[in-house]
Amino acid sequence: MNSLTRIALVTGASRGIGAATAIKLAQKGCDVVVNYLNNQPQALEVKKKIEALGRRTLIIKADVSGYSQVQQMVEHAVAELGGVHILVNNAGASHHATLTNLEPQDWLRLMNTNLSGAFYCAKACAPHMKKAGWGRIVNLSSLRAMTGSDYGSHYASAKAGIAGLTKSLARELAPEVTVNSVAPGYTDTDLNKKALAEKSDAIRALIPLKRVATPEEIANVIAFLASDEASYVTGETINVNGGIYMR
């Protein structure tokens, strides 16, 4: 594998951490599949940036909460680019609701996107990684998986489930494939835009580093876990949160 171009699939890659990760992996020499659901113009912008780096890229619209769409996406990527060696399960959804107001359909929607989506993508990509004899899966968890949430038990539960999925797949897919997770804290993305706008000073006061992360800072850790340098790291969740939560 060392002499071959690695092909990365980044889900939810049209903006935020996903976009930053897709571009970072291209900078590291990967060809990149940019998955998106609703933001085609932004996905096209990411594609342009990757192509400007001299890397091949595809943009593929697919809802990761549907296994058939995931299968089609991976088959398309393999047919066009020749494989999938790196999977970054970044696609996710967020929703604020207390237990009293949380509807079963919202619980299922977040579980399907944030947890089942990661499982579906891993299931579709792992055979190609095993066949190639090399693979990296990086799942996106969250600070809320560690602390819980008083306004989003469904989100926190799905992201906590990522830890169990990560450890289980790390055991099952070794030694060819490593599987790790990154749990970002507050990051300057659209997902956190409302909270940061309403409680910016209060949030920063809680963080020892006194600032939120940039998407690029999270992408740097993901890119490390997707590299040869992290060849002896598997089954781990790496907290990247400026010190707001320390285990």
Determine, yes or no, domain membership for 245. Answer: no
Per-residue model confidence as pLDDT tens for the chain (247 residues): 445 799 999 999 999 999 999 999 999 999 999 999 999 999 999 999 999 999 999 999 999 999 999 999 999 999 999 999 999 999 999 899 999 999 999 999 999 999 999 999 999 999 999 999 999 999 999 999 999 999 899 999 999 999 999 999 999 999 999 999 999 999 998 777 777 777 888 999 999 999 999 999 999 999 999 999 999 999 999 999 999 999 8
Query: Tokens standing for 226?
Result: 């997707």
Residue 156: CATH number of its domain: 3.40.50.720
> Is 44 part of a structural domain of the chain?
yes
204 occurs within a structural domain:
no
**Could you list the residue range(s) of the whole structural domain that residue 35 is in?**
7-187+214-238
Does residue 60 lie in a domain region? yes
Domain count, the chain: 1
Task: Give the C-alpha distances (Å, rounded to integers) separating 228 from 23, 50, 99.
Answer: 18, 21, 43
User: Rg of the chain's alpha carbons, rounded to an integer?
Assistant: 17
- Quick check: pTM over 0.85? yes
Residues that are catalytic: 155
Largest CA distance in the chain: 55
- Is 168 inside any structural domain? yes
Q: Is 196 inside any structural domain? A: no
* Residue 192 belongs to a domain: no
Residue 15 lies in a domain: yes
